[in-house]
Structure 1
């Protein structure tokens, strides 16, 4: 690597200082303290820490100069001469804008929150470490893109360069100044591939426990009546499962795993992980072809319903280098874009709801809880001894991460001699959420778009709508979807006898797809959309879809005998 320059220019970006001050106020919940000396001018501190957005920056790590243009909304348009420089620059720029968010994203994924936020985050750190990828890293890198390792490495090095520059210049964002710790330039290619974001939107294990507790309390008929599945499926307790083994404590380790509002005080709530499950998040997407468009070309719209927070979950960026020209939104800690378009195709997604997790009830040895029964004999769990640093404590907490053949152990019942292990698509190579898009960012048409999907569009499951400059529109329902030959995945299953094992995954060419529908539009809203788009489709993909009212309303409007403008799509 050599020292070279990154030229940055800005357009209208006068709101940056005010925005930075808002970020500082909204990013962390600080407990009320007794009134003391006058508080510093936070707005002035925030302004002083704003990164350089114009002029020339000399940075180690680029092979050739890179140009970054920021538009009226502050969106960076990055122009590089190589793939590595492009993603290095993306990492650098996003760290300039979202350094605090990136630091907490990394700590959340690596299980290092307690180190800076205190003991109330120890349990969450344990969960993150249980989810961490433990497979072959070469296989993992290649899943997302043929140049995956170089892309992730460059992105991480760009983040580190921006962090180091801020430290050297004593211009770290105000959140760090307020809390009294520094960001760490320790990102690697592996850092990017955390499994925590995928857990957030793939929680079938949670609903399995909830459903088992409801059947235990109400009986199977009443539970079915009060909470039917979508599509309808008659509930049945898997043979061998004792509902008395199921308790709310099974998912205690997952408590707060979806909460990105960091706090410095212990929660006063006595709620369980089950109480915190939210089912009201939803998204909409749709695409119309030229016959329904005032532009004479397809129009695609995507409306991911995510919480309005500051800093935002999404980060909009334009990436341009030889072989790359794409603009859209990603999560700040992920290279590339997840939703958007290049100069030939566009795509958008909503969560579909395929079942990608199973909870296994393992029988443990009363004489040795680190052994479990597997196919008629006792097997040793894999045990990793780890240390968790805790803010305010000189002594780290020891943590024993345990694993059966099915996956990480989330909970152990030492009285009933049971352990509860999670099998998840996230443990497979390619199981990091939202990074499958790297394989389609360079696609030129429907065939290339489809061909990129099986490589790593694994988790979470998505309903994708598609459009291209040739006038085609399409739909794909995609995810790595386990094949369950003798059970439905709606309840936990016994793990001892091997009766409930995944039989591979549904081949991608058997997942739902459609091109150029005679209806002239596609739409989805987290509902069971597949039978509406691919009539006669019979493969069971899941039973926990959202109600169809949003889908029905969008379909009602798009079915009108009229053409739609871009303004119509925005309204």
Structure 2
């Protein structure tokens, strides 16, 4: 027995030693790819010496004698810190993920091939100026310089993920950067999904007119009511079946992106010196994106011939997308412009290679492509295109659920053009010296449509909608709210409008401009910009905070950026609970009635602050979620699963009975006529039961932060059991779907209240004291999980802290982490 025990002990010891040895070898090999910020390298392609000074947060300050060399240094820095992220973005845009990930990414590849983003990126390069092409090439040369060093110096393949996936790494090309910009545009675009969902809801509703409640326009005048989607094709209602496995294909790079109005969102506001305590223009900007590890954003500073610029970049692109120079600051929000149309195309029943046009039958443009799949045989797909754009199979975005037999769906999108010069607009903006030059740069911006906010050293502020706007005809049968017939002349685009037609706002009398993805203009279709806006709530809070002070400071702008008061909670609770507050006799402890009474007592005393340490935000979120689902599930059936994310305007319409919307409260299958008060009470009990099962029966011990963790998930390894605890970052957070400090929830799944979409970057710029400007990103500069800069800014971000944004070279060099010197090869 003792002999057996000794041998078992030896075997266990050997096993542990082997595991430790393998782990140590992997750690050593992976650690080789952590860049040495103090190294000196000799590389080809430079005109002169480049210094990359890393400050204490590992933000590169790039000093060079020429703009070419500065952009070279940015490409080098991006590749040093975010190589895997860049390669994955490129591979996704090319539709080549399945070559390394296998079948699980096949649908993503299929969609990318059909949209042909890589082709449009390549064909757009000739539309760029010689100067812009030279910058793109310099940036690519910097990336490739690091790739060569990884190979020649055995630097751990450049990223630890490349030990697990061994793709061949092709050199970076200028059109790869254009491709990344197109991929970002697709991430921010949701109008096509809105069209499909609106059509599905129109088909499912017993009264199609009630779509005005379920998917309401932003409050205001001028919205036109729509008819029934089924009537367009003279087809019976509810004839469209769900497509098995349909929906948006899971994006491995942005696993937390889900739901309408989750494509792109942001806050930005600016004040003139007249509204600034220190006498200089102020700006705050925080673009909202799916939370990932590492963040999509990367901080950098470049020394250009026109002056230094600093701010947030996206690895793979040479732009400072949100940032400032010595004379100008800029920030972007998603404009929610309706820049996508879906078309139902009739296929010729006698010849399936043709589709119907206003002038008769026309041939589909077709081509075949091969998708390689890891460990499987490749597949060949046939791509079809109409005059309106690529044909999208019914399994993508659930398009098949609103595509009748004998028809296909095509997609027209402003980004799909051979003259997409969006990156050039950003490059011009970085070198602009005035508001006028910055506004002119927007003419090159194609997609995604954005609100460009500007604040200048001379005290001027402006906001301009940039991006191409479709030129539609007044007779468009759905006003582009739902898919329309592609063979009807009045539905087709006439091109795009000219830049001057985009809304612009300059130097307002109030002294403050702001945008939270809210409706900004009231113009008649087709110059309406959009019917589907990204916010109706945050703008209310921003307006109150801006009006609350005669003058503002950098700190008051920071306070507004971090504000966690929910205007939706303040608006909805008095409506929904107005007949429930303090009613009935005190119930016995431990009963459902007592739990409900206590929850209502807490909510009655709550100010709407979505604080992570309070139970009230959790009760409110769960209640509104359950309430909306109860109101709609008897009317639209299984489609209710698409509406878990709360729509405050819908609930307000119902409880104010706007246009008879209170009829949603009546449960259709029952004989009784239910009131809104009864449904609200049932929904509260349902929510409290759900929360009790998850967090216990002691309501005072519930905490919003326990349910509302920010989940920064690694785009590939984050789903694996072994690596997830290393690469994923989870943090309890305040805020919610409708707070300025936006922390949006998925509303569905096993963790419906987690924070998956928020301000990946925050910046506040003060021209009264430019070096007091600050910024932060949600994780860290490095994409390497073993680097201390992988998540070192994450805790600062969670606590609402910032790091300095300085253009002073001496401050940048003070207490630096290291200085990388790049010398030209002779």
TM > 0.5 fold call: yes
Distance 1:478 1:142, change over 3 A: same
| Corresponding position of 1:187 | 172
Distance 1:87 1:430, change over 3 A: farther
| Corresponding position of 2:691 | none
- Which structure exhibits the higher relative contact order, with contacts defined as CA atoms closer than 8 Å and separated by 6 or more residues? 2
Structure-2-length-normalised TM-score: 0.59
| Corresponding position of 1:255 | 249
Structure-1-length-normalised TM-score: 0.84
- Taking the aligned partners of 1:543 and 1:410, their CA distance within structure 2 comes to 23
3-state secondary structure, aligned to 2:333: strand
Distance 1:477 1:177, change over 3 A: closer
Distance 1:144 1:516, change over 3 A: farther
Q: 1:211 aligns with which of 198, 219, 223?
A: 198
- Taking the aligned partners of 1:411 and 1:471, their CA distance within structure 2 comes to 51
Q: 1:96 aligns with which of 77, 80, 84?
A: 80
Deviation of 1:230 (Å): 2.5
Is 1:196 matched up with 2:183?
yes
Distance 1:479 1:403, change over 3 A: same
Deviation of 1:308 (Å): 2.9
Alpha carbons 1:111, 1:125 under 8 Å: kept: yes
| Corresponding position of 1:224 | 212
- Taking the aligned partners of 2:503 and 2:146, their CA distance within structure 1 comes to 43
RMSD over aligned Cα atoms = 2.9
Alpha carbons 2:100, 2:167 under 8 Å: kept: no
Structure with more helix by fraction: 2
3-state secondary structure, aligned to 1:426: coil
Alpha carbons 2:335, 2:465 under 8 Å: kept: yes
3-state secondary structure, aligned to 2:81: helix
| Corresponding position of 1:556 | 544
Deviation of 1:40 (Å): 0.8
Alpha carbons 1:483, 1:502 under 8 Å: kept: yes
Superposed counterparts of 1:52-67, under 5 Å:
52-67=36-51
Query: Deviations 1:148-182 (Å, cap 9, x if unpaired)?
Result: 22222222222222123213323224533441414
- Taking the aligned partners of 1:212 and 1:334, their CA distance within structure 2 comes to 36
Deviation of 1:104 (Å): 0.5
Distance 1:247 1:491, change over 3 A: farther
Is 1:418 matched up with 2:407?
yes
| Corresponding position of 1:176 | 161
- Taking the aligned partners of 1:492 and 1:201, their CA distance within structure 2 comes to 20
Superposed counterparts of 1:81-160, under 5 Å:
81-133=65-117, 140-141=124-125, 147-160=131-144
Alpha carbons 1:86, 1:320 under 8 Å: kept: yes
| Corresponding position of 1:165 | 149
Q: 2:450 aligns with which of 433, 439, 462?
A: 462
Which piece of structure 1 moves more, 554-563 or 519-528?
A: 554-563
| Corresponding position of 2:285 | 302
Alpha carbons 2:344, 2:483 under 8 Å: kept: yes
Q: 1:40 aligns with which of 12, 18, 23?
A: 23
Which piece of structure 1 moves more, 424-433 or 298-307?
A: 424-433
Is 1:328 matched up with 2:319?
no
Residues matched between the structures, number: 519
Is 1:405 matched up with 2:387?
yes
- Taking the aligned partners of 1:148 and 1:161, their CA distance within structure 2 comes to 20
Alpha carbons 2:307, 2:326 under 8 Å: kept: no
- Taking the aligned partners of 1:333 and 1:464, their CA distance within structure 2 comes to 21
- Taking the aligned partners of 1:134 and 1:382, their CA distance within structure 2 comes to 18
Q: Give unpaired runs (5+ residues) of structure 1.
A: 1-35, 263-274
Structure with more strand by fraction: 1
Q: 1:442 aligns with which of 421, 426, 431?
A: 431
Alpha carbons 1:460, 1:479 under 8 Å: kept: yes
| Corresponding position of 2:815 | none
Deviation of 1:68 (Å): 1.1
- Taking the aligned partners of 1:327 and 1:565, their CA distance within structure 2 comes to 21
Alpha carbons 1:285, 1:524 under 8 Å: kept: yes
